[in-house]
Structure 1
Amino acid sequence: MRAGGRCARLDSTMNEDAQETDTQAGDQRDEAYLPIAEHGLIGDLRTAALVGTDGRIDWFCAPRFDSPSVFASLLDAERGGCWVIRPVCQVSTHNQFYFPDTNILITRMLTADGIVEVQDFMPIVREQDPHHRQRLVRRVVNVRGRMRLGMRIAPRLNYGRERHRLERMPDGVRFVGHALALELRSSIALELDDTDAYATFNLDEGETALFDLETDCASEAAAADAGIGPDTGPVPCAVDAEAAEALFEATVDFWRRWLRQSTYTGRWREMVHRSALTLKLLTHEPTGAIVAAPTLGLPEQLGGARNWDYRYVWIRDAAFSLYALLRMGFTQEAQGFISWLAERLRDATDGRVGPLRVMYSIDGHDHLPEEVLGHLEGYRGSHPVRTGNDASDQRQLDIYGELIDSIYLFNKYGAGISHDSWTDLCEILEWLLKHWDSTDESIWETRGGQQHHTYSRLMCWVAVERMIRMARQRGLPGDLGRWTAARDEIYHQIMSRGWDPRTRTFVQRLSTEPGRPPESILDASVLLMPMVKFISPVDPRFLSTVEAIADRLVMDNLVFRYDPSQAPDGLDGSEGTFSICSFWWVEALARTGEVEQARLALEKMFTYANHVGLYAEQIGLTGEHLGNFPQAFTHLALISSAINLDRAMG
């Protein structure tokens, strides 16, 4: 029996008082994996960890979001490694919630013997504190009764591919790998086996056990890259009760001070603020980068092959995130991302796929080759498990519209763009004016070959239109006559070749030539047309498109992005409904005047959130969360739909 599996089931070496047979513990694959939705997220603006409702941390990469994993039993219950704390007796109820207005997660477990809660948080690394190392703190509090608990920490470095050694410390243990070491300090005595540390301990009512896991990079360069201060001496340890309380209070204070910047006071404050806190968790503060999700390999279909690595910065996702944060008054995050983006603009070259890549690593690298982690079985057998993402080599013309629209909004609501940034944008626009009428893979990153996508044309129109607006508003230099002519040409092409007069709908792909009707393939991305000011929301063409999408892509207000049987995407298997499309649906209904229907759709979408208000990329037909979790794309769309529906309701 592998140690990773023992961690997932609380091995009998730390559970001697409540031994069960292996068959009782459950050897079936599904029993070894929590549902994706049964997790909360904690983080320190460098990386993040998923904490299950049963007290296990089964996903954690360190020191950055895109670093190799430390715990990954979410992708392989036997080999991935995890950190579990739970009562050794039968748990009748698991509850989980966030400490109000923070990203501190509290997991409560109710048993016949009493109630215990595990408080999980990652103190924020502040630039003014050069001695603060990255840490993950777990505070176990016995609320009622007398509890016997088990703890096992089973790190598996480098996606479970690297063997580490154990070293005892006076107050804990050190796990030493090639590029990373982890130091676990504990307020209780630990026992060691070949690879893990574990303990069984008693807590009386009101007593506390403390665990403090610190990241120790192998080099100062790695620490600086992660935005972590060098190890220059002793630091206050969270296994000291006063120090732990101080860290807890400082973390509470950070999140509440940050959230007080929000200008949103609408009807759905709790859900909107939770989404904002989630977007902030997905921000890499040292660089300003915003990752699409903190996970990799979570399947879009259980047992299927649509399993991708989302721990990178998609230009599209980050631009939409910028829009959501600006709408709520979070200008500092917007400034951070614009600074990160300015470096990408300066580095832009006229490459094979264009001056900008679809995605980048946190520090701006654009070489992200896919690698299959063949030793991992995948979540509930969903394989292959991939790290890296070959979509970075795709041409997706829509990113230029999303990028320039976000800069337009920053120029309008933020600090304004610099001369250098404007010059860079003009050069990128020059490239786009030459290539907008080209094929690409577009927003859904299909792998079935390039097409002339309507959505990409729409966003090319947005790119040119927003450049014209900025030039006129700020008196910035530009060839407005030529830009205007190109904008109008794109507009007319969408209206003539992206519109199917037979079905009276805008479609996924343009017709192959003028005067010939396109294929009647619906795509939920065209719901954005009025949101980007391309068309009036009450234009008959858009209204009939909304009706068609309602008939063919919407199921109880859950929206599929398209029908793969009509538009093969080069991938095997099926997928769930796309949560971002479901929130676009809410906003489209609100803009077309169907305000009550939009409100009902939004309230229904809220019921699909997990217990702490988080969303994966997709929702399955039975309400299960699918895909990487939580996803920035979904939470930014929630914010946008709520704000616009509030406005429509008055």
Structure 2
Amino acid sequence: MHSCALVSAAGSIDWCCFPRFDSASVFGRMLDVKDGGFFQLAPHGVQRTTRGYLPGTAILSTTFETDSGAATLTDFMPVHAHDGPIEPREVAAQQQIARILECKRGSVEFSLVCAPRFDYGSIVPHAVLTSDHTGFAHGGADGLAVYTSASLRAEGGGFRAAGTLRAGERVCAAVTYHPCFDHSSETIDEATISGRLGETRAYWEAWSNRCLYRGPYADAVLRSAITLKTLTYAPSGALLAAATTSLPETIGGSRNWDYRFTWLRDATLALYALFILGYREEAADFQTWLEWSTLGRARDLQPMYGVGGERRLTEVELSHLDGHRGSKPVRIGNGAHRQFQLDIYGELLDSAHQYRKFGGQISAEYWAFLRRVVSFVVDHWREPDEGIWETRGGRKHFVLSKVMSWAALDRAIRAARALGLPADLEAWRSVRSEIREDVLAHGFDSSLGSFVQAYGSRTLDASNLLLPLLGFIRADDPRMLATIRATERSLTSDSGFVYRYRGFDDGLPEGEGSFLICTFWLADNLIALGEGGRGRELYERCAGTANDLGLLSEEFDPSAREMLGNFPQAFSHLGLINTAVHLDVAAPGNVRRMEVQDGPKHTST
């Protein structure tokens, strides 16, 4: 996988970036209805639409019913196989979207409109026909070859085709990215597309058959695993946070961020999920990316990196785009890459901890780097930071940041002891204890009876639900139990969805939805308390926010019952997998209980 495409229920590709996930959009109607660009293939007069993935695949099937008949649209991106991470800046020859519209009953009239708009809609390309069935659009540094089995015509900086299909007939189409100043392209016909469909389906079915989860939520877990795979940049092994940029956290709002990068705090959950589901190669590839991208000076560690390991992710506003449903600004890049976030040091050590627990090797070179990371934490854990939520209102002594500093020491101590690695264990244990005592003294508000967001604050924060899941404190400790109950009372919607915080000035305009990952964390806490029934109910409610394809967003508006934020969101799908496994392990009759050393973010019991 190099990129992906988002397809609407109307058969329109409204988001796709080439040649990488984080490249400029070629089709971007999602962020500007008029000028963003799109690629639509569908019948006329559609009365009803149903869609789903072919089982165990990322191949989308959309069925349209009209007054005169029915047709099925099959969309897929041919798989470009990799033996492992090779070249982070690779541009593959077959970065392609293929589409097949087949009439299943009666007859349908159809239209094809391919309107690429390069560089986030700022370039209307020069479009020319190269034959009756092929064309080429180019502008700036980008080019796109277009094929359809129907007769094609160039029009308005794009291409159109139309016709009538009867039962058993079909029309095929494909767009292929070309990064060179050359109109030549590979020869494509219906047989080529059919062959690639077969190869792609076989690839995904074989990949899905490797999934080890056999619990009651097998369909949702497998769909989440496939989604994570489609969010993985194959040349480097990096896992994106989401496929999109600037989908708003509230409609019409300005909390619109670019998530097409890889966050270190996703690493532990990602490695655990991949390992526990049986995808060891993907986990190893991601760990390789982690080591390659982060190795160096500990003080230079960033919260996020580009999928090729890039560090300069300058945030820019694209004023020419209207934004999704009028939500401005549209941003590319992410200024949070320059923030000081203490939790990432703990995340990096925790990811190494997970990797070794599942049999991965820690090289002498990487351990030397991790020791430098520990030394940095020892020297800097007392400092304020921007925190896990990447606030833009000034640094604070966030409780979770301190706890993740504790986790950095804790995981380093565990690794050194287990593997006999060189370490100053006595000093590390001393600092670990000092941090814990400091958090318990300053991060817990006795008058509120709960842990708070930051030292000196009286604000609740859902990130504190991670404290027992990291093994910092038991879920049934009176202080943590009170925090869980306070979170349920004060940070949840009427239907139980969890908000990050309330009444806190994070330096940004107000307005956001509930966070799905926080809701999964609450379910994990309930499971840890032995309240499995409530945890299962909350899990199912959270998983139920997925769209008709089983895909989750970052946030959810419980009142409007609509998705918010970037989509599909890796963190949400990782939470779905993790909590499903916790429910399975905690089910009656299961002797084994999860320990903190066996997996991330759950209770040691």
TM-score normalized by the length of structure 2: 0.93
1:593 aligned partner: 530
1:484 aligned partner: 429
Q: What amino acid does structure 2 have at the position aligned with 1:613?
A: G
Q: Give me the whole-angstrom Cα distance separating, in 1, the residues matched to 2:41 and 2:183.
A: 31
The 3-state SS of whatever aligns with 2:120 is helix
1:154 aligned partner: 115
Aligned positions of 1:132-211 closer than 5 A:
132-170=93-131, 171-211=133-173
Q: Give me the whole-angstrom Cα distance separating, in 2, the residues matched to 1:141 and 1:617.
A: 34
Q: Select 1:505's aligned residue among 450, 470, 473.
A: 450
The 3-state SS of whatever aligns with 1:146 is strand
1:558 aligned partner: 497
Residue 254 of structure 1: how far off its partner (Å): 1.0
Q: Select 2:247's aligned residue among 274, 298, 316.
A: 298
Aligned positions of 1:91-490 closer than 5 A:
91-127=46-82, 132-170=93-131, 171-218=133-180, 235=186, 237=188, 239-240=189-190, 242-346=191-295, 348-349=296-297, 354-490=299-435
The 3-state SS of whatever aligns with 2:469 is coil
Do 1:61 and 1:69's aligned partners in 2 also have CA atoms closer than 8 Å? yes
1:541 aligned partner: 479
Q: Give me the whole-angstrom Cα distance separating, in 1, the residues matched to 2:540 and 2:320.
A: 42
Q: Give me the whole-angstrom Cα distance separating, in 2, the residues matched to 1:607 and 1:413.
A: 31
Do 1:132 and 1:235's aligned partners in 2 also have CA atoms closer than 8 Å? no
Aligned positions of 1:570-581 closer than 5 A:
570-581=507-518
Do 1:108 and 1:116's aligned partners in 2 also have CA atoms closer than 8 Å? yes
Do 2:150 and 2:162's aligned partners in 1 also have CA atoms closer than 8 Å? no
Q: Give me the whole-angstrom Cα distance separating, in 2, the residues matched to 1:150 and 1:315.
A: 44
Residue 127 of structure 1: how far off its partner (Å): 4.3
1:53 aligned partner: 9
Q: Give me the whole-angstrom Cα distance separating, in 2, the residues matched to 1:109 and 1:594.
A: 44
1:493 aligned partner: 438
Q: What amino acid does structure 1 have at the position aligned with 2:454?
A: R
Do 1:331 and 1:414's aligned partners in 2 also have CA atoms closer than 8 Å? no
TM-score normalized by the length of structure 1: 0.87
Do 2:19 and 2:91's aligned partners in 1 also have CA atoms closer than 8 Å? no
Do 1:133 and 1:216's aligned partners in 2 also have CA atoms closer than 8 Å? no
Q: Give me the whole-angstrom Cα distance separating, in 2, the residues matched to 1:301 and 1:327.
A: 34
Q: Give me the whole-angstrom Cα distance separating, in 1, the residues matched to 2:440 and 2:2.
A: 44
Residue 92 of structure 1: how far off its partner (Å): 1.5
Do 1:317 and 1:633's aligned partners in 2 also have CA atoms closer than 8 Å? yes
Residues 533-557 of structure 1: per-residue CA shift (max 9 Å, x gap): 1111211111111110110011212
Residues 266-317 of structure 1: per-residue CA shift (max 9 Å, x gap): 1100001111111111100111111110100100010000000000111112
Residue 334 of structure 1: how far off its partner (Å): 1.2
Q: Select 1:69's aligned residue among 9, 25, 34.
A: 25
The 3-state SS of whatever aligns with 1:439 is coil
Residue 130 of structure 1: how far off its partner (Å): 11
Q: Give me the whole-angstrom Cα distance separating, in 2, the residues matched to 1:503 and 1:492.
A: 19
1:79 aligned partner: 35
Q: What amino acid does structure 2 have at the position aligned with 1:73?
A: R
Q: Give me the whole-angstrom Cα distance separating, in 2, the residues matched to 1:447 and 1:132.
A: 41
1:28 aligned partner: none
Q: List gaps (5 residues or longer) in structure 1.
A: 1-44, 220-230, 512-518
1:532 aligned partner: 470
1:224 aligned partner: none
Residue 236 of structure 1: how far off its partner (Å): 5.9
Residue 345 of structure 1: how far off its partner (Å): 3.2
Q: What amino acid does structure 1 have at the position aligned with 2:331?
A: R
Do 2:491 and 2:498's aligned partners in 1 also have CA atoms closer than 8 Å? yes
Q: What amino acid does structure 2 have at the position aligned with 1:482?
A: A
Q: Give me the whole-angstrom Cα distance separating, in 2, the residues matched to 1:385 and 1:142.
A: 39
Q: What amino acid does structure 2 have at the position aligned with 1:618?
A: E
The 3-state SS of whatever aligns with 1:510 is coil
1:609 aligned partner: 546
Q: Give me the whole-angstrom Cα distance separating, in 1, the residues matched to 2:442 and 2:371.
A: 28
Segments of 4+ moved more than 3 angstroms:
127-132, 231-236
Cα 1:233–1:261 change in 2 (3 A) is: farther
Residues 193-222 of structure 1: per-residue CA shift (max 9 Å, x gap): 131101111100011100011111128xxx
The 3-state SS of whatever aligns with 1:562 is coil
The 3-state SS of whatever aligns with 1:70 is strand
Cα 1:578–1:157 change in 2 (3 A) is: same
Residues 425-456 of structure 1: per-residue CA shift (max 9 Å, x gap): 11111111100111111111111100000011
Do 1:497 and 1:510's aligned partners in 2 also have CA atoms closer than 8 Å? yes
Residues 17-64 of structure 1: per-residue CA shift (max 9 Å, x gap): xxxxxxxxxxxxxxxxxxxxxxxxxxxx11011000111100000010
1:515 aligned partner: none
The 3-state SS of whatever aligns with 1:108 is strand
Q: Give me the whole-angstrom Cα distance separating, in 2, the residues matched to 1:437 and 1:562.
A: 23
Cα 1:232–1:415 change in 2 (3 A) is: farther
Q: Give me the whole-angstrom Cα distance separating, in 2, the residues matched to 1:178 and 1:642.
A: 47
Q: Select 2:561's aligned residue among 598, 611, 623.
A: 623
Q: Give me the whole-angstrom Cα distance separating, in 1, the residues matched to 2:419 and 2:216.
A: 35
Residue 167 of structure 1: how far off its partner (Å): 2.1
The 3-state SS of whatever aligns with 1:247 is helix
Q: What amino acid does structure 1 have at the position aligned with 2:332?
A: T
Do 2:42 and 2:101's aligned partners in 1 also have CA atoms closer than 8 Å? no
CA-based RMSD: 1.7
Q: What amino acid does structure 2 have at the position aligned with 1:276?
A: A
Count of residues in correspondence between the two structures: 579
Q: What amino acid does structure 2 have at the position aligned with 1:156?
A: R
